[in-house]
Structure 1
């Protein structure tokens, strides 16, 4: 039978406890009033064979033998629920230790602690103690630094394109006009099919042309034409439109491709080929630097009538605008920038 003494501190070594039947063979155990028979006064020294645990303890005077310290009997002893008895599960008697060694050892430990403290204070904060056993010591893994950047906005859905266009009041304000409004056929969901004799410059010449977007992978478009109500003569016209792509990367790729084409079209004169109007247009300038691409085209023989074409990207949307008037300025670029401000950046 193997157990731990109930009064021992946690972690004390186990001791062997004999079977409960041993109490029948040793009636004096558990009876503090019982004393073994005294030998004659001058009897020879004999071992004390009934010591706890079966120890042999020779003594010259049995009367001077120390009485074992009584300890509480465990609840597992039959018939002795509360009688103090020197049970065999009590911890063994401690050996006598020379206190001089304890004092000397304490001094050595104290000195070692002071030295360790001085060494620790002198070491830089950047150093770390080497592991005692690298093969068994787990390696600490640095936790990843928390990210503080804002989450990337989701692509703009095609259903939200119409709400990105400016209202007529904002267009009138930029153009310095009054009475400009959306004209027939209203808001369109398709690109214009005009073609020119030099298709490589279609994007630099006009806005929202299907010829310029072929093969780009665009998804959808929403666009409008705004001008004054006079059908014969008007002083201002604006084409404003937005074209969505599957991702912001694809939209930017399209704008980068157009920037390379626009730079090669400066000074080119071109004509429409699928229209009754065969007037010639000349691309007088193209600026492909900055956030907004711009080009200016003037109509021959129209007293300075021309259009500034502007194209920029925000998230997965390409903003495509053309503002036309006599001697146009940067109105197209201004309208494109205002539309871009309504789109969350990628």
Structure 2
């Protein structure tokens, strides 16, 4: 199911709670290392304290709507503009056909500073497939960059919510990590526009995805993903 959350200033966020060419920029992954087993995925996610430190906030915890549960499946469904579902971390439709074997995801908050933080780890059979997923994700993001996209979730288990239009910013690729910002239409105020920044990278056979939704802290998503990537690299 999907949970629609009002977070003020006319902004609502829908969070899915349940459901069933080689990129040289990912050279930091370790294809010669044994693949990280699925059983290790939960331990690769940052603890709330680790995540808070990574993004520079004093604390993070589960939301009233979803708690701090770690989900062991990708979220069912897609978004209205389904050709841009690659912009939504943890959503099942973006992984279809990629060859992935398992997903773990968690949602944390520290409102009003951070309205939503999403962390996701995805296991693949090999480092090559993980790198291929990053390459295809970057291509998909670039096709959506510059568009205004309706990111309202669609799911057979959930009544449709209101439209949620977001302007998709440019894609950046640096040191093996791809990033962009989605800015919600009509949310600008003195503190800036509300939006969600996303980032993704690969280490060994694991893809790491992160999302931070905020007016002021969303750019910290790169540190969130980097900290998780470091845990993958350190895994023995």
TM-score if structure 2 supplies the norm length?
Answer: 0.74
Task: Kindly state the Cα deviation for residue 313 of structure 1 after the two structures are TM-superposed.
Answer: 0.2
Asked if 2 retains the 8 angstrom alpha-carbon contact of 1:263 and 1:288, the reply is: no
Alpha-carbon spacing, 1:299–1:335, altered in 2? closer, same or farther (3 Å): same
Asked if 1 retains the 8 angstrom alpha-carbon contact of 2:31 and 2:204, the reply is: no
| In the alignment, structure 1 residue 234 sits paired with structure 2 residue 112 | yes
Task: Kindly state the Cα deviation for residue 325 of structure 1 after the two structures are TM-superposed.
Answer: 0.9
Structure-1 residue corresponding to 2:178: 293
Q: Which of 137, 141, 149 is the equivalent residue of 1:262? A: 141
| In the alignment, structure 1 residue 193 sits paired with structure 2 residue 76 | yes
Alpha-carbon spacing, 1:263–1:288, altered in 2? closer, same or farther (3 Å): farther
Alpha-carbon spacing, 1:289–1:260, altered in 2? closer, same or farther (3 Å): farther
Task: Kindly state the Cα deviation for residue 163 of structure 1 after the two structures are TM-superposed.
Answer: 0.4
| In the alignment, structure 1 residue 245 sits paired with structure 2 residue 124 | yes
Task: Kindly state the Cα deviation for residue 322 of structure 1 after the two structures are TM-superposed.
Answer: 0.4
Asked if 2 retains the 8 angstrom alpha-carbon contact of 1:196 and 1:270, the reply is: no
SS in 1 for 2:58: coil
CA–CA distance in 2 between the matches of 1:273 and 1:221?
19
Task: Kindly state the Cα deviation for residue 328 of structure 1 after the two structures are TM-superposed.
Answer: 4.3
Q: Which of 132, 135, 152 is the equivalent residue of 2:32? A: 152
User: What are the ranges of 5 or more consecutive residues in structure 2 without an aligned counterpart?
Assistant: 1-29, 155-159
CA–CA distance in 2 between the matches of 1:256 and 1:151?
16
Q: Deviations over 1:125-173 (max 9, x none)?
A: xxxxxxxxxxxxxxxxxxxxxxxxx993210000000001111112222
CA–CA distance in 2 between the matches of 1:263 and 1:224?
26
Task: Kindly state the Cα deviation for residue 308 of structure 1 after the two structures are TM-superposed.
Answer: 0.8
CA–CA distance in 2 between the matches of 1:297 and 1:154?
36
Task: Kindly state the Cα deviation for residue 345 of structure 1 after the two structures are TM-superposed.
Answer: 7.9
| In the alignment, structure 1 residue 218 sits paired with structure 2 residue 85 | no
> Rg bigger for which structure?
1
CA–CA distance in 1 between the matches of 2:219 and 2:153?
28
Asked if 1 retains the 8 angstrom alpha-carbon contact of 2:56 and 2:220, the reply is: no
Moved over 4 A (4+): none
User: What are the ranges of 5 or more consecutive residues in structure 1 without an aligned counterpart?
Assistant: 1-149
How many residue pairs get aligned? The number is 192
Superposed counterparts of 1:57-96, under 5 Å: none
Q: Which of 173, 178, 182 is the equivalent residue of 2:53? A: 173
CA–CA distance in 1 between the matches of 2:180 and 2:221?
10
Structure-1 residue corresponding to 2:11: none
Structure-2 residue corresponding to 1:163: 43
SS in 2 for 1:191: coil
Alpha-carbon spacing, 1:162–1:151, altered in 2? closer, same or farther (3 Å): closer
CA–CA distance in 2 between the matches of 1:253 and 1:161?
20
Asked if 2 retains the 8 angstrom alpha-carbon contact of 1:262 and 1:288, the reply is: no
| In the alignment, structure 1 residue 279 sits paired with structure 2 residue 164 | yes
User: Bigger relative contact order, structure 1 or 2, given CA contacts below 8 A and separation 6+?
Assistant: 2
Superposed counterparts of 1:309-320, under 5 Å: 309-320=198-209
Higher-strand-fraction structure: 2
